[in-house]
Amino acid sequence: MIVRAKAPLRISFCGGGTDVSPYPEERGGVVLSATVDKYAYASLRPRPDEEIHITSLDYDLTRSYPAGKRLSADGELDLVKGVLNHFQFEAGQALPCGCDIFLHSDAPPGSGLGSSSTMVTTLCGVVAEWLRVPLTPYEIAELTYKVERIDLGIAGGRQDQYAATFGGFNFMEFHADHTVVNPLRLRPDTRNELEYALLLCYTGATRLSAHIVENQTRSYRAGNAEVVASLDRMKALTLEMKALLLRDRIREFGERLHLAWEAKKHLDSGISTAQIDALYGIARREGAVGGKILGAGGGGFLLVQAPFERKHRVARALEAEGGTIVPFAFEERGLQTWVTQE
């Protein structure tokens, strides 16, 4: 028997940063995002002994640990250790035996598509399926947040965990004591037109998003007026962009995407780089309506929206500058788990 799980990566259009504590608890955060057909995968195969063997293709690592013992976070495969520790010691779900766990993702860590949080979501799903622990989507998302942000202390927000678990286009609201995921019922024409207008460009650079998030959080806690105003501006733009999507106004959506990027850059000096500025400037000169770097910033994927008659010129110019255009499509499904026989 092999238990498998996969969860989709996401594109965050606007609001990222307002989901990072303590902003949502104090002012309420909102995020508009959509999942795409890039995934984090996990396979789990029970073993006849008490060993846990973990292989990560993304990090080119294979490690072995004893089942039934708390695993220490030491910088290697900590996300897996956090999930296993939760089920064994906090949820009281003793592993029936050892297991082999194999992990890989369609995007590298630090790419801005939420790959780390999506991998934790996938891990929670595959272990819960193996142990037959019934969890609702909200419980999976909150568990993923707890493991990553609280147990392991990795700085970041809440949007990635909910996007990966629920899938699809969502307007998410983050409050002090609860989160609400509002699926957007877009017309198929709207979804197709937006997908056709967007380009996903890999900059070739990855980054540790936690450092940028930590700087942003320190600035917000210190009452930095520019950071507070930028977060408030992004929240207002997120509401506008949701309304524009629901009314099929795609070009205006792209124009707000540009404004959102301008606001996001004021959160921390590390969000943009000379390379990102150069790529985005080229895209704009070739006719792009708007765009932004995905995730916390500093590298990863650049999202660009362009009119159909200019899209090919934008793509060609970005590739000439060293970017890599990555095809994608929107994905409506969230976390999926299944069992197969060898």
Please identify every residue annotated as catalytic.
Answer: 160
Q: Identify the H or E element spanning 231.
A: helix 225-246
* Burial of 208: CB neighbours in 10 Å, binned 0-12, 13-18, 19+: middle
Pairwise CA distance, residues 64 & 144, whole Å: 23
Instruction: Give the angle subtended at the CA of 137 by the CAs of 236 and 214, to the nearest 5°.
Output: 50
Q: Which residues pair with 172 in a beta bridge?
A: 31, 181
Instruction: Give backbone dihedrals phi and psi of 124, rounded to 5 degrees, phi first.
Output: -60, -40
In DSSP notation, 170-209 reads EEEEE-SS-EEEEE----HHHHHHHHHHEEEEE-S----H
Judge if the upstream peptide bond of residue 327 is cis by omega within 30 degrees of 0: no
In DSSP notation, 249-312 reads -HHHHHHHHHHHHHHHTTS-TTSS-HHHHHHHHHHHHTT--EEEE-TTSSSSEEEEE--HHHHH
Both ends of the chain: CA-CA distance in Å? Answer: 6
Strands 2-14 and 29-46: antiparallel
Pairwise CA distance, residues 131 & 171, whole Å: 32
In DSSP notation, 91-147 reads S----SS-EEEEEEESS-TTSSS-HHHHHHHHHHHHHHHHHT----HHHHHHHHHII
Pairwise CA distance, residues 141 & 31, whole Å: 15
